[in-house]
Structure 1
Amino acid sequence: MFTLLVTLLFYLIVIVQGVHFLGGTITWHPLNASATGSPVAIVITQTYSWTYSKITCTNAMIASSQLIPDGGYSYIPTQTLDCISNCASGASGYVAPSIRPYCTDISAPVGTTVSQRSDIVYLYSGDDFSVAFQNKAWRALATAAEATWSISTHFIIKSRSDNGLYNNAPVATMMSPIYIPVNQPTVIHVPVADADGDPMRCRWSTASNGVDECGGVCPPGSLPANTVIYPNCTIVITGTVVGSWYAVTLMVC
């Protein structure tokens, strides 16, 4: 299974105060699509959203490709995308890159800073492990005043049976936060794509079997009642909700 974790926020009121993290995605693909040897160069792309008032990029910083400011959060300059599962035997060659991304977009009215970074790591055929960006101080949710998070992705480095090439992980092109009406049925379609043309499906993320995919925002407890996600990556919210933020963490497989 080749997986991508997508972490989103549902915004259900007009104004809310909170802390600094708003969700993101981690995806990966071989640098050379026709690579067949071992080790193989793998590009890891991390995309994260932040509260603009806490992590404030500027247009000048975007134009000059500057790293996001740390905003007083000491972990940002030093934390790495660490292996969290099957690390001893399944992650040969993996050197964890930094999680600190570059400024890519801002919206002061919406209150969001968007950032991204790409790194190349060299992995061996047969590697099979999970990595995650984990921390705390997610924006206050209806279910928690200050939630922890775990954004994970799973590497399986092996040749495909159909063409002998290495697989590409699926990609989601939606970022949080998402603004939806209060107390109205809402359908959210998460755009996903796969460079290999493989069938894709979505499932709720979990914290089980030694792999924490969601931290303190594991569904269904982090969602409004009667929320349903379908295998085609469509999220349907039908229940009555109170005005606040909710988080959804899902895996695209």
Structure 2
Amino acid sequence: MFLLVLSLLVSGSQASHFLGTMMTYYPVETQTNGSVSVILRYKQNFVECSQSVTWNCEGNCGSWTRMLPLTKVEEVSGEWCQTEGVITHQLPNNTGFQTKLDGGLWIDNILNRIVYWRAVAAVELRNRSDIGKPNTSPQTTILPALRVPVNCPRTINLLAFDPDGDEVKCRYGNAADSECNPCNPPPVLNVSSSCSLTFSSSVSNTSSELRYAVQLVVEDFPRQTITLTETGGSQEVKTTSDAISKIPLQFALKVIPEVPSCAEGSYVARFLPPTPDNRAQKFIQVNKVLEINIRAEATHSTVTGLLFSGPHNVSKSSPGSGSFTLSWTPTAAESGQSHPICFVVETSYNYNTYHSELRCVAVTVGNYYVVALRGRISTSLSLENDYDALVKQIKDELTRRGLHTGMNVRLHRMG
């Protein structure tokens, strides 16, 4: 009987139902004995909410606890369901590890011939010389499927930010990393290192949906040469050309029949104020309600809904036609962390469903202060080329003016 049940489980795992995944991590604390705790947050995208697969850990895995069983984030009935899970690893030392998700199969009719899925996250937890603590991975998220009309070029600006202030870069996975097998990027989609995806198709029209598997790797690079130190004292130098960690970001691109006009606000929804700008940053305290208000319009189609990807306990409502609100109340478990929330607005015309541009915000949780300073801090340094030196100069000046020496300083260009 056991063998029969096992056979049925293996057979069921081969169904064509996968639409991608992603994982990020946050170190929690380092004990005096050198042990480390790390939180892994991951999303899985399948056709049905009941479908799932287990991440496998390789290396210094320690003991782990499932803090959140897979819980639904968002669903389009019959097309996809995104779930989120949280695992905490307690490690005997700060040597990193890899965690891997693999199996089969991607959804049917993937044109770039991706069949089996594989996603790898490299968790780096050695102590960094620049910040004096373990590394945190880049943070990002994505919907399980994005829909683009075949005749409309589009740029998809992914949200990819790093809580440590590192430079974040995106690329397609390759066989040398064991992130995919085979590794065939979608021929209609180019990825830049700055995490922008450019869609352009040589096909002028299609009567059916064209599907592609998008398998990206997101990595963080230090802005200056740093040293990583293990619990036992051994060290490794990382230059600005060396990735510190890597996380997977995978989803499906669905190219749909042409739309009469590519202009935003015609058939594809256009965002209106007070919708936040893409890659905007928001701050919220624990147990306080964050509301993201979204408005969109389309003159020749019908606005039918909002889809999002974010923490599992985000809720959405629609107070009026073309108006939506995403609400989230972070708990103490999210304190000190940053969480991405991404969304699109759907419209419908002539039995086709269209997605607006993808917009994302980064939400930082915890106690924070907005400090107003009289006067200016004069500097010849630039934000682009001298980020770390500029942060240190500003921090030193703020300390001189009486702020706590242990404060964190982040710089963001306005406008």
User: Scaled by the length of structure 2, what TM-score is found?
Assistant: 0.44
Contact 1:124 1:157 in 2 (8 A): no
More contact order relative to length (CA 8 Å, sep ≥ 6): 1
Tell me: CA distance 1:94–1:213, structure 2 relative to 1, closer, same or farther (3 Å).
farther
Contact 1:123 1:157 in 2 (8 A): no
- Opposite residue 193 of structure 2, the aligned amino acid is P
CA shift digits 1:139-171 (9 cap, x unpaired)? 120133x71001210012201111211111001
Distance 1:82 1:136 in 2: 15
**1:123 offset after TM fit, Å?**
2.4
Partner of 2:184: 219
Q: CA RMSD in A?
A: 2.7
- Structure 2 counterparts to residues 1-253 of structure 1, below 5 A: 19-32=16-29, 35=30, 37=32, 38-51=34-47, 55-56=48-49, 69-70=50-51, 76=52, 80-83=54-57, 87=59, 91=60, 93=62, 101-108=70-77, 111-140=79-108, 141-144=110-113, 147-208=115-176, 211-216=177-182, 218-220=183-185, 223-225=186-188, 227-241=189-203, 243-253=209-219
CA shift digits 1:105-140 (9 cap, x unpaired)? 2222x7221101001001244423322110102112
Q: 2:111 aligns to what SS in structure 1?
A: coil
Contact 1:102 1:115 in 2 (8 A): yes
**Rg (Cα) greater in structure:** 2
Distance 1:98 1:80 in 2: 15
CA shift digits 1:223-253 (9 cap, x unpaired)? 025x321111001122324641111111111
User: Scaled by the length of structure 1, what TM-score is found?
Assistant: 0.69
**1:200 offset after TM fit, Å?**
1.0
Q: 1:201 aligns to what SS in structure 2?
A: strand
**1:39 offset after TM fit, Å?**
1.3
Q: 1:166 aligns to what SS in structure 2?
A: coil
- 5+ residue gaps, structure 1: 1-17, 57-68, 71-75
**1:182 offset after TM fit, Å?**
0.9
Q: Percent identity?
A: 23
Contact 2:74 2:81 in 1 (8 A): yes
- 5+ residue gaps, structure 2: 1-14, 220-415
Q: 2:89 aligns to what SS in structure 1?
A: strand
Tell me: CA distance 1:245–1:100, structure 2 relative to 1, closer, same or farther (3 Å).
farther
Distance 2:22 2:39 in 1: 14
Partner of 2:274: none
Distance 1:93 1:118 in 2: 16
- Opposite residue 116 of structure 2, the aligned amino acid is T
Tell me: CA distance 1:247–1:118, structure 2 relative to 1, closer, same or farther (3 Å).
same
Tell me: CA distance 1:124–1:239, structure 2 relative to 1, closer, same or farther (3 Å).
farther
Distance 2:69 2:106 in 1: 16
Contact 1:36 1:159 in 2 (8 A): no
Q: 1:27 aligns to what SS in structure 2?
A: strand
Partner of 1:8: none
- Opposite residue 50 of structure 1, the aligned amino acid is F
Tell me: CA distance 1:95–1:212, structure 2 relative to 1, closer, same or farther (3 Å).
farther
Q: 2:105 aligns to what SS in structure 1?
A: strand
- Opposite residue 192 of structure 2, the aligned amino acid is Y
**1:215 offset after TM fit, Å?**
3.3
Contact 1:80 1:99 in 2 (8 A): no
**1:184 offset after TM fit, Å?**
2.8
Q: 1:172 aligns to what SS in structure 2?
A: coil
- Opposite residue 178 of structure 2, the aligned amino acid is D
**1:99 offset after TM fit, Å?**
11
- Opposite residue 238 of structure 1, the aligned amino acid is S
Contact 1:30 1:166 in 2 (8 A): yes
Tell me: CA distance 1:247–1:93, structure 2 relative to 1, closer, same or farther (3 Å).
same
Q: 2:128 aligns to what SS in structure 1?
A: coil
Distance 2:62 2:126 in 1: 15
Distance 2:199 2:175 in 1: 23
